[in-house]
Amino acid sequence: MRMIYTHPEIINEPLKNVGCFIRQIHNSGKRRYCPVCRTASERFEEAGIVPREDAKCKWCGARERHRLVWLYFKKMTDLFDGRPKNMLHVAPERAFENLLKHHLGPGYLTADLHKSSAMVRMDITDIDYAEETFDVIYCSHVLEHVPDDRGAIREFHRVLKSDGWAVLQVPITADITFEDPSITEPTDRLRVFGNKGHVRKYGPDFLERLKESGFKVKVTKASDFLTEEEIELMGITDAAGEIYYCTK
């Protein structure tokens, strides 16, 4: 049976109530809680090209990085403060799309180069919107597919408002960023980059690529804003990565 806990909602409750909430989940016989769809379950499902156990919510599909980002949105940003915002969501995740559309209304825009389900078709290296259009930009695990990632980052900087913010996420899977444009065969990309659609492996120097385009960047890991109990309950493992929060 699906168990949905709408009160208290852990991501809006003071930390003093987290322990009570965790005991409530454990007393129900459930070990995991997805903060995106607010559903408890015994465990998450397996996910990943290299399968990771206990990774994906079976109800909404949120993986470790999605749960981390959603908690960050709720706890650490103004995304849900009720004020009108124009948000660009690139390659929208199924777990987030309807929720963000509900919260943000007409200011919410999804974009993708290939998926027809997105609101607009967009090449993020040549964004057809004016400077300082968007209050918020969210782009997760897309730039590793884009040959000219620096061009895309410059475009995000251009269309972001001066007082806006962006969360730009990539998988960090190397000590230093490695790319080779001569590697074009899908099987070779899978062998070298770990995915048939990837054109590079990013290292922690991804931070410098963001800064090159003029962004100021704050890097946040789960333990910077979540308790150990929250991290355990919501399955926020190392696979979730870190948050790259970018401002002008």
Q: Which run of H or E residues covers position 193?
A: helix 186-193
Average pLDDT over residues 216-237: 96
Average pLDDT over residues 89-101: 96
pLDDT of 28: 57
Query: pLDDT tens digit string along 109-157?
Result: 999 999 999 999 999 999 999 999 999 999 999 999 999 999 999 999 9
Cβ-based neighbour number of residue 170 at 10 Å: 23
Q: Which of 169, 210, 165, 149 is nearest to 64 (CA)?
A: 169
Q: What is the mean pLDDT of the chain?
A: 90
Q: Which run of H or E residues covers position 46?
A: strand 45-47
Q: Among 17-26, 72-81, 133-142, 145-154, where is mean pLDDT lowest?
A: 17-26
Domain membership flag for residue 106? yes
Cα–Cα distance list, 156 to 20, 63, 138, 214 (Å): 41, 25, 10, 10
Note whether 135 and 86 are within 8 A (CB): yes
Domain membership flag for residue 136? yes
Domain membership flag for residue 37? no
Place of tokens 């650490």: 76
Average pLDDT over residues 195-217: 97
Q: Extract the tokens encoding 237.
A: 């493992």
Write the CATH number for 199: 3.40.50.150
* Percent residues over pLDDT 70 in the chain: 88
pLDDT of 50: 86
* Percent residues over pLDDT 90 in the chain: 85
Q: How far apart are CA 240 and CA 237, in angstroms?
A: 6
Q: How far apart are CA 185 and CA 181, in angstroms?
A: 11
Cβ-based neighbour number of residue 34 at 10 Å: 25
Query: What residue numbers bound the domain in which 81 lies?
Result: 63-247
Domain membership flag for residue 148? yes
Cβ-based neighbour number of residue 124 at 10 Å: 24
Domain membership flag for residue 172? yes
Q: Which residues contact 182 (CB under 8 A, 6 or more apart)?
A: none
Position 73 pLDDT exceeds 60: yes
Position 18 pLDDT exceeds 60: no
Domain membership flag for residue 113? yes
DSSP bridge pairs for 168: 139
Domain membership flag for residue 18? no
Q: Amino acid letter at 112?
A: D
SS (H, E, C) 72-125: HHHHHCCCCCCCCCCEEEECCCHHHHHHHHHHHHHHEEEEECCCCCCCEECCCC
Domain membership flag for residue 58? no
Strand-pair category, 52-56 with 45-47: antiparallel
Q: Among 24-33, 73-82, 171-180, 182-191, where is mean pLDDT lowest?
A: 24-33
Classify each residue of 129-151 as buried b or exposed e, where b means 16 or more C-beta atoms within 10 Å of its C-beta: beeebbbbbbbbbbbbbbeebee
Place of tokens 């007082």: 163
If pLDDT is split at 50, 70 and 90, which confidence band does 25 have? low
Q: How many domains does the chain have?
A: 1
Query: pLDDT tens digit string along 152-197?
Result: 999 999 999 999 999 999 999 999 999 999 999 999 999 999 999 9
